[in-house]
Chains A and B, each alone.
Chain A
Amino acid sequence: MDKLASLLHTTPAIVWMALKIVIVFGGVMSLAAIFTWVERRGSAMIQDRIGPNRAALFGKIRIIGLAQILADGIKMFFKEDLIPTDANRRLFWLAPFLAFVPALLGFAVIPFGKSFMSGGHTYHLSVLDPGNGMGMLYPLAIGGMAVYGVLVAAWSSNNKWSILGGMRASAAMVSYEIGMSLAVVAIFMTAGGYDPSEIITAQGHLPWTWNVVRQPLGFIVFFTCMFAETNRLPFDFAEGESEIVAGFNTEFGSMKFSLMALAEYSHMMTASALIATLYFGGWQVPFVKDPSVMLSVACFVLKLVFFAWVFVWIRWTVPRFRYDQLMRLGWKRMLPLSMVNLVFHAWRMSQGH
């Protein structure tokens, strides 16, 4: 342990930073990849099916079908990469990255473990150290960027279905973002700051002091809006088999499509990390006042995986909305609800609670 600590002290800050980036983004990306399998297997189980369990390493080692991820990846990688003749080539190339990068970037500011002191230095377990001035505003801003991925993909493929899908999705994303931001503002107010570590410490280690209990209304609004943000099933308006074929990724094939799909899952990871941080105490371990670093990281990952699973779970429970229903829900329910939530907490704070 001492050796490890001394190694930590001697490594320059830049290496520590690079290590964090590799761990965080590598971790999130592999979790996203695993969740493509979890989604398929979980949905199968929910529908009393079995799901992909055949893919095996070297044709022998089955490991409950986990090799499916590898098989899918290899297949996607070696497929022909088609670009439609009239597509805007440059934007068509750019679109998958525009979808994928913001989905990952949002994770940068979220602390995935307790900060620890070692050799006179404080080490923070988040890619961007707390007190960077951006705090929770950063993932919200980056989340807004995700619209570009969908819209650019739709526009560049020069296909009516794609454009319709992209327009619908971006309209939904933009309208839900307002409700979501107002729900988050209520948290900023009660926590007294918009730095994620401040929000986490303000929530404490007891489950009933977490924001989900303090602001259940805000939680419902935020959670619903996250579904619209990630473009997942109750609100997946970017796609729609019966209406607009595959929506914004109609023209995308091979690795580009794979990136698009992976972007959705990375977005899901970031969204569940946000939910865990804002409403479920981030790395706080329930009933443990001063958890060890490893325990706090494990607890955060557990929460992350749980909420990602809830995303999958809800997808296979709730039927899709119609587009007008979505818009009505967004503007006439979610926005007023988050407004009520905000005003209520502002009033409570003014009463000195």
Chain B
Amino acid sequence: MGVVVKKVELSWLDSTYVWPVLKGMAITFEHFIKQLFTPTSKRYTIQYPEMKKEMPEGYRGLHELKRFEDGAIKCVACFMCQEACPARCISIEAEEFSDLNITQGFEEKRPAQFKIDMLRCIYCGMCEEACPKDAIWLRKDYEVAAYDRLSMQYGKWDLMNTYSKVDGKDRITQDTTPTVPRRTIVM
């Protein structure tokens, strides 16, 4: 298969080589001046530690364990995410908790431990897909780094508080007793 190469016919001025070089220099100088007088915030380059990229919708970053308004965890420890995880980085320990003393009384399941090994996680979002309660979300934080391997093991409280600063919520470090039962047990 032959390709016919079209020969470019240069005009007299272009074939001197000097004029095209001057034209090229005008272009590069235009870029230079434009870039020189563009404020840093409007340049293409994002100056990383000071400026951060706004991630698009649907970006799969660091996980968050969602909570209810009253601070109780949404997760019901159904192990769906653990099963769905292709990297096998989630490990859950379930516990039962009940508070039959308060008026309505209820019994529910929640995770006592919820660990994600961030070194293994591939951020595929399968856990988010699998979750029946919308309790685990992958959000936009991409700065997951640490100096040692142990700090990459994210526990339940790490995951619950990942975005508390961004969302303006309080950090919680212990399970709050729900004020309203999620599902009333009819006796």
**Measuring CB to CB, which residues of chain A are less than 8 angstroms from any residue of chain B?**
42, 44-50, 220, 313-314, 316-318
Contact = CB atoms under 8 A, between A and B. Distances in A.
Contacts of B32: 42, 45-46, 313
A313 B31 contact: no
Interface string B22-55: 0011011101101110001001110100000000
> How many B residues are at the interface, by size bracket?
10 to 19
A313 B35 CA distance: 14
A134 B172 CA distance: 84
Given A220-B18, A314-B21, A318-B21, A46 B45 contact: no
Contacts of B29: 46, 313
A46 B36 CA distance: 9
A316 B35 CA distance: 15
Given A313-B29, A318-B21, 14 more contacts: A45-B35, A46-B28, A46-B32, A47-B31, A48-B43, A49-B44, A50-B40, A50-B45, A50-B47, A313-B25, A314-B21, A317-B25, A317-B28, A318-B24
18 contacts: A42-B32, A45-B35, A46-B28, A47-B31, A48-B31, A48-B35, A48-B44, A49-B44, A50-B45, A313-B25, A313-B32, A314-B21, A314-B25, A317-B21, A317-B24, A317-B25, A317-B27, A317-B28
Contacts of A316: 28
A318 B40 CA distance: 27
A110 B112 CA distance: 82
Nearest to B38: A48
Nearest to B33: A45
Contacts of A49: 35, 44-45
Contacts of A47: 31
Contacts of A317: 21, 24-25, 27-28
A314 B18 CA distance: 12
A49 B27 CA distance: 15
A50 B42 CA distance: 12
Interface in B129-185: none
A286 B25 CA distance: 24
B98 to A, nearest CB: 56
A314 B24 CA distance: 9
Given A42-B32, A313-B29, A50 B21 contact: no
A29 B112 CA distance: 68
Contacts of B27: 317
Contacts of B25: 313-314, 317
Contacts of B21: 314, 317-318
A49 B34 CA distance: 11
Nearest to B21: A318
Contacts of A318: 21, 24
Interface in B1-16: none
A27 B182 CA distance: 79
A313 B32 CA distance: 10
B37 to A, nearest CB: 10
B17 to A, nearest CB: 8
A42 B25 CA distance: 13
Contacts of A46: 28-29, 31-32, 35
A45 B44 contact: no
A313 B24 CA distance: 10
A225 to B, nearest CB: 14
Interface string B81-92: 000000000000
Which of A42, A44, A50, A314 has the largest number of chain B CB atoms within 10 A? A50
Contacts of A220: 18
A45 B43 CA distance: 10
**Which 6 A-B pairs give the minimum distances between C-beta atoms?**
A45-B35, A317-B24, A317-B28, A46-B28, A50-B45, A45-B32
Contacts of A313: 25, 28-29, 32
Contacts of B35: 44-46, 48-49
Given A313-B25, A316-B28, A45 B36 contact: yes
Contacts of B45: 49-50
A48 B35 CA distance: 6
